[in-house]
Structures are given as structure tokens and as C-alpha cells.
Chain A
Amino acid sequence: MKTYTASITVTLRRAILDVQGKAVENALHSLHMPGFADVRIGKHIELSIQAVDADSASSAVREACDKLLTNPVMEDYHFTLQEIAPVEAA
């Protein structure tokens, strides 16, 4: 078994107005930072998982996202996986 860490980003679906992002965008503009647009606010979830390989780790993370971590009615997600090198025995 190998250990992987997953970094999951969850955001509201594009079609849904992100009111929090809108409020932050307006705050940026009122702080005289006019160049910013399209502010989207989401969640960042990190977890580690043991799996035989990266493919099975990916499908486990996808299942966790589909079942619990996100709601497909309103949210999209993407994630990256990184294998953690085993600690060498001293």
C-alpha cells in the first residue's frame, strides 16, 4: 500500500451566482484595486489515503467527493494527488 495526499478544491458551479465572491470583489474594488474580477470562493479539503496505486486512490477520492464532500447540484470539484514517500527505516 502507498499513501497519497489529496488536495481537493470545491467551488460553486459556474451557473450559480457566488454572492460571497461578488461581495469580496466589490470590497477589492472599494479598496482601489480595480483590476480584479470573477472572484470565486470555495473550500479547500486535504486528506490522506492509502491505496495500491494512484488510480485507485483517485477513484476513492472521487467517490468521497461525489457522496459526501460535494453536492453536485451546486458544486464542482477538482483535486490533485501526491504520493508520500515512505519513511526510511533507520
Chain B
Amino acid sequence: MNIGVVTFPGSNCDADARHASAITGNTVHSLWHKDASLPTGLDVIILPGGFSYGDYLRTGAIARFSPIMNEVVRFANAGGLVFGICNGFQILCEAGLLPGALIRNRNLSFVCKDVFLRVENTDSPFTNVCTAGQVLRVPVAHGEGRYTASDEVIKGLEDAGQVLYRYVTPEGQQTDDANPNGSLNNIAGVTNTARNVMGLMPHPERACEALLGSVDGLTVFHSLARHCNAPVA
């Protein structure tokens, strides 16, 4: 696959995203926030984690007006695969590509640790190699990851199977203790109605090598490859 990784001022997981994309057999394209066009032939765009524009005003609020975001929105609306990780998720919500918003963690603390995610729907380009209910171990690192939306929006997401990942115990139980930030319904990752855009607060790109403690993040890259009929390294 051809994967583009956007760097905004303040992105700090862009190198990790490029590395994880490369070791899974993809051609990586570095994209810059001021770019006014995309390379041809991109299969996936990743908006990486970090603190774009210093999180000024709100997380993602200024990044969403970067020149490249016009292209990302156009790419997504044409069916292109877009994956926002952590700050990338926040940017996608601000840009209106995903519903809801991410606000200050329930306990007001920055949370940085491994969490367990249950795959809620395997019928998506991001989860198709997983088994339903599979539990993944992936790190989180965020201060504003509490997913919120109106009751109607949450119900719509749940009914349509747009919640792709939930925070759970290592045994796969959805409990309040397993929720690191107070997200509604323990939501960790959602997709849009067309299922070509996903936002995820945890960092699968940091869980792609055994040396780092988990390879469960590979499932996202392998799913994208399967969806695109692309080879996997």
C-alpha cells in the first residue's frame, strides 16, 4: 500500500506511524501540513498523534484548518482510507469527518499506559483480520481522550456498528475501571457511516514489534492491507 503520514507542527508520533507503515511492507509518503495536494496513488492517510499547534484553543481545532486538511477531506469523501491516531482522532472530529468530540480525561490526568481493547466490529477496513471480541493490548498516551457526543449520536454509532474498539479488562469485560479516561460507553475507536475513516485514541503504531511489548497493533495495518489486496511484510 501507499501510506501518507501527515506532519503538523507539534505532531510527535509521525515517525512512529511511518516506521510501523514501513515495517508492514508499505511505501511511505511524508506529507506536510502546508501541502496543497496529495501524491497520486495513496491508499491510506494517517493523521498521527501529538500536540498539533500546541493544542491551542482545543485539541485539533487549528490543525483542521491546515491546507492539507482540505485534501484529506476530499480524499475521505472520495472513499479514501483515513486513520487518525490520538491527536489525529481529535483532528478528524474537529474536521467533521467523525462524529463527537474528545475532552479532558475524567480524572484530569495525562494517562500513559497499556490498555486492553475489544474489537467490536470486524466488518471494517481497519479490523477485518480480527475476530469478533478479540482483545488487543495497545498503549494510550493522552490527556484529552474522553469521547463524548449527544445521546442520539452515541445511539446511532452503536446501532450502526460504528464503534470499532472499546476499553475492556484483559479478559474482555467492559468495566468502569478498564476505562482510562471516562469515554462514553468505554469507546476507544469509531468509524464513520461509510467506514473509510477511523479515529482511535490508543496507539497501534507503538505496538507493532515484540520488542515494544505487543504486536497487536499490527492488526490495523494487516486489515488495511487485506482491504486493499496489498501484500504484507
The residues of A that contact B101 with a CB separation of less than 8 Å are 71, 73-74
How far apart sit A15 and B65, CA to CA, in the bound complex (Å)?
A: 28
User: Are A12 and B65 in touch, CB under 8 angstroms?
Assistant: no
User: Are A19 and B106 in touch, CB under 8 angstroms?
Assistant: yes
Interface of B is mostly: loop
Which residues 50-79 of A sit at the B interface, judged by CB distance below 8 A? 68-69, 71, 73-74
Distance in Å from the Cβ of A38 to the closest Cβ of chain B?
A: 18
Distance in Å from the Cβ of A26 to the closest Cβ of chain B?
A: 11
User: Are A68 and B104 in touch, CB under 8 angstroms?
Assistant: no
Contact of B65 among A17, A19, A68, A71 (CB under 8 A): A68
A16 at the interface (CB under 8 A from B): yes
Q: A12-B103, A16-B103 are in contact. Are A71 and B94 (CB under 8 A)?
A: yes
Interface size range on B against A: 20 to 34
User: Are A69 and B57 in touch, CB under 8 angstroms?
Assistant: yes
Contact of A20 among B57, B61, B108 (CB under 8 A): B108
Contact of B107 among A19, A68, A69 (CB under 8 A): A19
The residues of A that contact B108 with a CB separation of less than 8 Å are 19-20, 23
The residues of B that contact A71 with a CB separation of less than 8 Å are 58, 61, 94, 101
How far apart sit A12 and B148, CA to CA, in the bound complex (Å)?
A: 12
The residues of B that contact A12 with a CB separation of less than 8 Å are 103
The residues of A that contact B149 with a CB separation of less than 8 Å are 73
The residues of B that contact A20 with a CB separation of less than 8 Å are 104, 108
Q: A19-B107, A19-B108 are in contact. Are A73 and B148 (CB under 8 A)?
A: yes
Mask, A1-30, CB within 8 Å of B = 1, is: 000000000001001110110010000000
The residues of A that contact B148 with a CB separation of less than 8 Å are 16, 73-74
How far apart sit A16 and B105, CA to CA, in the bound complex (Å)?
A: 12
B93 at the interface (CB under 8 A from A): yes
Distance in Å from the Cβ of B196 to the closest Cβ of chain A?
A: 21
Tell me the B residues contacting A by CB distance below 8 Å. Answer: 57-58, 61-62, 65, 93-94, 99-101, 103-108, 148-150, 182
20 contacts between A and B (CB under 8 A): A15-B150, A16-B103, A16-B148, A17-B182, A19-B104, A19-B106, A19-B107, A20-B104, A20-B108, A23-B108, A68-B57, A68-B62, A71-B94, A71-B101, A73-B100, A73-B101, A73-B148, A73-B149, A73-B150, A74-B103
